[in-house]
Chains A and B, each alone.
Chain A
Amino acid sequence: MDRRDFIKKGGAVVAGATGVLSLPVLNSCTAETAQAESKLAGKKWMVIDLTRCREDCTECMDACRQENNVAFHGDPRWDVHWIRRATLHPKDQSAGLEEKDVLLMCNQCDDPPCAMVCPVQATYKRDDGIVLVDHHRCIGCRYCMIACPYNARFFNWKENPDWPNKEYPRRSHGVAESCHFCAHLIDGGGRPACVEACERSGERALIFGDLLDPQSEVSRLVAGGGAKRIRADLGTQPKVYYLGL
């Protein structure tokens, strides 16, 4: 009976100690999130996609891939696309509508389902509205990909063979990612790579700015009417508007 008692008491002590020692961990969870909220000012950044988009042009996609080290394997099963081009064909042929091209990217939703479902808050929305992934924390569960209604999120199934931009980290295999409006560039006062590339190419189909600022170009374009968002009815509050859709 002595041995049993000893084991029972020992077990209880270990359980108690584990409980006590886990308190600092629990504390640190709450401390971290509380801190993060106070630091950033709230500014909304909008990208407006004008269908001034040239046929067969891939400037924005190439620039994005170069800037952000987005993985390309030449295989549609695993290739990552932060911005991509798609063609829309009207289902109802009789309506006389024509095919058109559209650029698809992460809509940087204000109510992002991806951030809501990330079990470790690796995908989260910053105070300035940017939705991005903390690749140090992502466990690769791919729930955010399931939750995104726009198919805008991707997973690194394979090690990225290239590293075009050594000044920006690339992602190793096993984590999820999507476009983050080039947060590293806009935090330094710049603009996303796709916007810059489109301007360089002369078309200016991508416009970036602060929707809350009535003087900004994005505000004027949205106020002018005709700007639509993809599946706004889903309630995700996407921050990418389209003109000419």
Chain B
Amino acid sequence: MKRSTVLTEKNRGTWATVFAVIILLPVVLSLVGFVFSRGEDTPEVFLEAADSRWENCVRDAEYMRFRHMDLLKEVRSDVIRDGLKGGITLAGCGDCHHSREQFCDRCHEAASVSLDCWGCHYYLTDSEIEELEGGGE
């Protein structure tokens, strides 16, 4: 059997180290990030203006914080694929949470979870709200 010239008895330690570094890199970087962010608060969603049309949010805060994506997927499926209207909508969320920067982007940017929604769905950022209000006056 032909002996390898790349991986030999002598340099297997080096290769093992390189391999381990590459595999563990994400973990190490996460730890470093965690250490350096100590003292910063976890971003909280900001309730800007409770709207009188809604008694409370469609689900409780705990559910919304951890499982809002499941709710959105279910709503999406119900509305589009089953034609069930009149339930939960993004516009409904916007009645109380006016700015998507405060509502969505704040946590999503901190958590590094990118969103694909705003190319198609209309939800204003702080600056866009300011522009609109400025224009109205």
Q: Do chains A and B touch in the complex (CB under 8 A)?
A: yes
Of the listed stretches B17-25, B58-66, B78-86, name the one at the interface; the rest are far from the partner chain: B78-86
Q: Taking CB as reference atom, which chain B residue is nearest A169?
A: B120
How many whole Å from B120's CB to the nearest CB in chain A? 4
The residue from B76, B83, B91 contacting A128, defined by CB atoms under 8 A apart: B83
Q: How far is the CA of A36 from the CA of B83 in the complex (A)?
A: 10
Chain B: interface size category: 10 to 19
- Interface residues of chain B: helix, strand, loop or mixed (majority): loop
Given contacts A163-B122, A167-B91, A172-B119, contact A126 B81 (CB under 8 A): yes
Q: Which of B66-92 contact A (CB under 8 A)?
A: 76-77, 80-86, 91
Q: Determine if B121 is an interface residue (Cβ-Cβ < 8 Å).
A: yes
How many whole Å from B81's CB to the nearest CB in chain A? 5
Q: How far is the CA of A128 from the CA of B81 in the complex (A)?
A: 11
Q: How far is the CA of A74 from the CA of B76 in the complex (A)?
A: 32
Q: B120, A172: Cβ atoms under 8 Å?
A: yes
Chain A: interface size category: 20 to 34
Q: Taking CB as reference atom, which chain A residue is nearest B76?
A: A136
Q: Which of A17-41 contact B (CB under 8 A)?
A: 32, 35-36, 39-40
Q: How far is the CA of A167 from the CA of B77 in the complex (A)?
A: 19
Q: Taking CB as reference atom, which chain A residue is nearest B124?
A: A166
Q: How far is the CA of A183 from the CA of B81 in the complex (A)?
A: 11
How many whole Å from A174's CB to the nearest CB in chain B? 10
Q: Which of A27-65 contact B (CB under 8 A)?
A: 32, 35-36, 39-40
